Amino acid sequence: MTIADRVDAAADFIPPDTLSPPPSPVRLRFVGHRGDYWRLMIRGGALQAITLGIYRFWLFTDMRRSLWLSTEIEGETLEYTGTAVELLTGFLIAIGILIPVYALLFVASLEFGFLSRLSGIVAFVVLAGFGQYAAFRARRYRLTRTVFRGLRFHQGGSAVHYAVRAMLWWIPVVITLGLASPWATTNLERYKMRNTFFGNLGGSFAGRGGRLFGRGILIWLLVVGPIIAGFAAAVAVIDWASVMRTFGRGNLFEIIAAMSGKDRIGLALLVGGVTWSILAGFVVYPAYQAIVMKWWLGGLRLGSAAAASDLRMRHYYGAYLRYLVYLLLFSIAFSIAAGAAIGLGYAALGGQIEFDRSSLSRDGLAAGSAIIAYVIYILGCSTIYQVVVKMRLWQVAVESMLISGIAALDHVHASEATASAVGEGLADALGAGGI
Amino acid sequence: MTTTGTGIFYDGVTSDRRKVAVEIDADAVRVSEPGGILLAHWRFADISPLTAPAGILRIGLANATGAARLEIRDQALGAALLARAKPTDRTGLTDRPTRVKVVAFSLAAVATVVGGAIWGIPLLAGRIAPHLPVALEMRLGAAIDIDMRQALDTSADGKPFECGTGDAPRAEVARAAFAKLVAPLEEAAGLTLPLRILVVRRPDVNAITLPGGRIYVFNGLLTKAGEVDEVAGVLGHEIGHVAHRDGTKSVLETAGLSVLFGMLLGDFTGGGGVIIAARTVLQSAYSRAAEAAADEFGANLMYKAGGDPRALGAILLRIADKQGAGAAPHFLLDHPQAQERAEAIARIAQPSPMRALLAPPEWEALKSICTGG
């Protein structure tokens, strides 16, 4: 779910665009204000905490309104017309669909008895398929709630078809350890864009898998290469039969001590390869995101309007670095505030509760405070991430876009179709939702 | 009185952008082309303000399938329109009272769910479990058994997980002793399903019950027990779980909590921690009630079988002493504090005509069931 997901998450704003290259291309503008977004996200985070997450439907709707409204194409902004009640209803319907599915999977695992391991895989595949189905329907919902110049976007195609296609593409992607994913992404994007319409103007996707492969292969070599090399070395060098015999000799150090020199070199190569890959993964992740985003934006077409993107990778790194700095500052501030709160609480309650002895009220208080502190901290981090990374990357993507042939958007006719929010609800319940 | 000005109009049929003349009269907005052709006549009652960038008033028709839009960039004209039309924000998302209502309803929903989790789920599980067919419960037990064995069977020395399965005479004696210990308890319990009680190679002082009448007695319990009645007391307690179908209830409760907390609530960043905390606290609350009930059942069973009903309390106290009381917070313990349990057992225990459950050599054989062949 790597590239496909990235693209999916970004697929919300559906691009623009117009006609022939000669009239100079139009650059999109981002007209949002970060201060407003901060306010919206902080309030939303607090309300989510006290409503145990029910408020998320309202927050997501607010976020989309704000982002859509911040995206300006030739002096006109996008408008998001979805409502939180639609999302809530869709979610409740999705729960109604999913509970019987979960129940069936559970009963199936009982019926199969000793095959219960296998039923775990079946459950994973079924739910992953549901996730793809939901993602496609969620995209349809978002498109039909996007209004531009008095017309809605909409999406045709079949979510079942899309889910099957996406699942089948997983086979070559897994077999090639991700090397096939540019073509998988291209194929799925083509399906999505071919079924995307602004009024009666149909979209298409001009991005090519080979191009993405060429731009991404270096990153693949940096991240996946060392893991493969490590495993290859380990398989070649380590005498697994003898290593197996040393298991059960107690802790890791004793096992290593019992290994032969050659086995130890193999183990070092394996551990080194995996460590390198994890570290490299962190370092090049923004670059990877930027490459995919630029490629994807550049492939978007709506009628004869064509998008291009001059996205800069450094903006991505800038966003993530700023996030790290903010996170550090927030963590320091949070520790100080939490320390002060604990001190005050101890002083205030010292007379009533014996803190030295285990008691129900002491333990309850400690556990309750820990949970509250945890929720505040995690929601704080998430809020910072949404503003400093997510909103910033949206802005960067919008501002990087140039649309040629924008006149194609001028005399489009309406072609109405709306969609329910059940797909969004499914995506939400399965944890597959994006903005 | 009519106020006039200009605006931008999208008719909802084509994407054409039109500069239009806007007239606001007593009860409607009229939109016309500069040439005078009327494009739209929207009554105040039908219009709805929509999200728009700062400084722009954007209105559309409420409940319309199309998406016709009128945008007014002239602040004075926009203010005049709003003042006269007083349109309701039907999207319901920007005005304060709606948000307050949303939060209030959400809090009520949270309260309902939490109440359902505390009282509703155990009540439902308790009502449903006795009606499930025994065959289903046994199959459930078999499925859990596979996972349980994998989780518990951690020894690497190749000895079988289950003790006393060998052909050696000592193993046979131990098996016979164990059967002799179990038989009167099982008979007194009057269960609807057969018990499958095994001694397993684990050093902990513990015993567990799975759905479908499966009980694992850990070898640690046999080696650390002071007398045979203590082992019988623990067995009685576990048989109590079987009789009350606690394993099945707990599966139902876990599923119920997953639905309530995993799906309906808590799906937000940081929610995972809250879910785990809530489930841990609630499940231990459920199980404390079940443990107390199993204690009572076990004590009665011991009385009927002729053993010492207080022996369970004695071994509980001894284990608690060794582990150091209060090592885990009170409310997280599956088992209520040993002291409280021992006192409760002593209250229930009736003075009984006691007999020896096993002869000393049998007890010795049973204690070494995992070391014998």
Question: Which residues are CB-neighbours of B315 under 8 A, at least 6 positions away?
Answer: B205, B225, B226, B230, B233, B234
> Which of A116-127 are b and which e, b meaning 16 or more Cβ less than 10 Å from the residue's Cβ?
beebeeebeebb
Q: Is B92 on the interface with A (CB under 8 A)?
A: yes
Q: Is B1 on the interface with A (CB under 8 A)?
A: no
* Chain B residues within an 8 Å CB radius of A150: 10-15, 66-69
Residue A42 structure tokens: 């902080």
Helix/strand/coil for A200: coil
N-term to C-term CA, chain A: 16
CA A124 – CA A142 distance, rounded (Å):
26
A52: nearest CB among B92, B255, B265: B265
Q: Is A360 on the interface with B (CB under 8 A)?
A: yes
What DSSP character marks residue B14? B
Q: Where are the domains of chain A?
A: 3-199+299-311+400-429, 208-289
Geometric angle at alpha carbon A207, from A202 and A213, rounded to 5°: 160
Domains of chain B in start order, with CATH, are 3-85 (2.30.29.30), 133-367 (no CATH)
Mean pLDDT of A425-435: 58
CA B105 – CA A410 distance, rounded (Å):
44
Main-chain dihedrals φ then ψ at residue B159, nearest 5 degrees: -75, 150
Interface of B with A in 281-310 (CB under 8 A): 281
CA B36 – CA B59 distance, rounded (Å):
21
pLDDT of residue A171: 94
CA A435 – CA A424 distance, rounded (Å):
10
CA A303 – CA A318 distance, rounded (Å):
34
Task: Please state which of the ranges A147-161, A251-265, B59-73, B135-149 shows the lowest mean pLDDT.
Answer: A251-265
Residue B178 structure tokens: 């164990």
C-alpha radius of gyration, chain A, whole number: 26
Task: Please state which of the ranges A62-76, A175-189, B116-130 shows the lowest mean pLDDT.
Answer: B116-130
pLDDT of residue A18: 46
| Nearest Cα residue in chain A from B329 | A363
Interface of A with B in 5-64 (CB under 8 A): 31, 47-56, 58, 61-62
pLDDT of residue A314: 95
pLDDT of residue B326: 46
* Chain A residues within an 8 Å CB radius of B324: none
CA A391 – CA A370 distance, rounded (Å):
30
pLDDT of residue B329: 47
Q: Is A410 on the interface with B (CB under 8 A)?
A: yes
Interface test with B, best of A18, A34, A118, A147 (most B CBs within 10 A): A147
- Which amino acid appears at position A285 of this protein? Y
**Residue B351: burial class (beta carbons within 10 Å; 0-12, 13-18, 19+):** exposed
pLDDT of residue B106: 84
Question: Which residues are CB-neighbours of A358 under 8 A, at least 6 positions away?
Answer: B325, B326, B329, B330
Q: Is B10 on the interface with A (CB under 8 A)?
A: yes
CA B366 – CA A151 distance, rounded (Å):
82
Count of pairs with CB atoms under 8 A, one residue in A, one in B: 178
| Beta carbons of B332 and B284 less than 8 angstroms apart | yes
Mean pLDDT of A11-37: 70
Distances (CA, A) of B163 to B150, B184, B221, B238: 16, 21, 13, 19
Q: What is the pLDDT of residues B16-45, one digit of tens each?
A: 889 999 988 888 899 998 888 889 899 888
Main-chain dihedrals φ then ψ at residue A310, nearest 5 degrees: -110, 45
Q: Using pLDDT thresholds of 50, 70 and 90, give the confidence band for residue A397.
A: very high
Q: What is the pLDDT of residues B111-135, one digit of tens each?
A: 888 888 888 888 888 888 888 888 8
Residue A79, CB-side half-sphere exposure with 13 Å CA sphere: 25
Residue A70 structure tokens: 């911040």
Question: Which residues are CB-neighbours of A162 under 8 A, at least 6 positions away?
Answer: A132, A133, A136, A188, A191, A192
| Beta carbons of A203 and A250 less than 8 angstroms apart | no
Mean pLDDT of A154-162: 90
Q: Is B151 on the interface with A (CB under 8 A)?
A: no
Contact A31 B53 (CB under 8 A): yes
Interface of A with B in 376-405 (CB under 8 A): 377-379, 381-382
pLDDT at A13 over 70: no
Counting residues of chain A whose pLDDT is more than 90, the rounded percentage is 44
| Beta carbons of B90 and A81 less than 8 angstroms apart | no
Q: Is B267 on the interface with A (CB under 8 A)?
A: yes
Q: Is A321 on the interface with B (CB under 8 A)?
A: no
Interface of A with B in 179-238 (CB under 8 A): 198-199
- The predicted model scores a pTM of 0.78
A110: nearest CB among B16, B102, B140: B140
| Nearest Cα residue in chain B from A385 | B269
Interface test with B, best of A51, A197, A244 (most B CBs within 10 A): A51
* Chain A residues within an 8 Å CB radius of B40: none
Of B178 and A100, the structure prediction assigns the larger pLDDT to B178
Instruction: Kindly report each contact of residues A92-97 with a partner whose C-beta sits within 8 Å and lies 24 or more positions away, as own/partner.
Output: A92/A425, A93/A420, A93/A422, A93/A425, A94/A134, A94/A422, A94/A425, A94/A426, A94/A428, A94/A429, A95/A425, A95/A429, A95/B263, A95/B264, A97/A422, A97/A426
Q: Is B169 on the interface with A (CB under 8 A)?
A: no
pLDDT at A70 over 80: yes
Of A242 and A139, the structure prediction assigns the larger pLDDT to A139
Sheet containing strand A29-30, edge to edge, reads A29-30, A71-73, A76-77
Contact B330 A106 (CB under 8 A): no
Residue B300 structure tokens: 């009665």
Contact A54 B265 (CB under 8 A): yes
E strand residue ranges, B241-368: none
Interface test with B, best of A52, A76, A115 (most B CBs within 10 A): A52
Interface test with B, best of A151, A153, A356, A372 (most B CBs within 10 A): A151
pLDDT of residue B166: 78
A65: nearest CB among B51, B65, B266: B51
pLDDT at A274 over 80: yes
Phi-psi region of A177 (alpha: psi -120 to 50; beta: other; left: phi over 0): left
The residue with tokens 């009982």 is A110
pLDDT at A354 over 90: no
A149: nearest CB among B17, B259, B329: B17
| Nearest Cα residue in chain A from B260 | A95
CA B303 – CA B313 distance, rounded (Å):
14
Interface test with A, best of B261, B267, B323 (most A CBs within 10 A): B267
The residue with tokens 């996707």 is A205
CA B167 – CA B313 distance, rounded (Å):
35
Of A221 and A427, the structure prediction assigns the larger pLDDT to A221
| Beta carbons of A198 and A151 less than 8 angstroms apart | yes
Residue A173 structure tokens: 């992607």
Main-chain dihedrals φ then ψ at residue A17, nearest 5 degrees: 130, 170
Residue B9 structure tokens: 């109009």
| Nearest Cα residue in chain B from A67 | B53
Q: Does ipTM come in above 0.90? A: no
**Residue B321: burial class (beta carbons within 10 Å; 0-12, 13-18, 19+):** exposed
Contact A371 B53 (CB under 8 A): no
Contact B273 A50 (CB under 8 A): no
Q: Is A411 on the interface with B (CB under 8 A)?
A: yes
**Mean pLDDT over each residue of chain A, to the nearest integer:** 83
Interface of B with A in 93-112 (CB under 8 A): 93, 99, 102-103, 106-107, 109-110
Residue segments in chain B with a per-residue pLDDT below the cut of 50: 92-93, 324-333, 373
pLDDT of residue B51: 83
Task: Please state which of the ranges A70-74, A423-427, B278-282, B328-332 shows the lowest mean pLDDT.
Answer: B328-332
pLDDT at A105 over 50: yes
Q: Using pLDDT thresholds of 50, 70 and 90, give the confidence band for residue A383.
A: very high
pLDDT of residue B325: 45
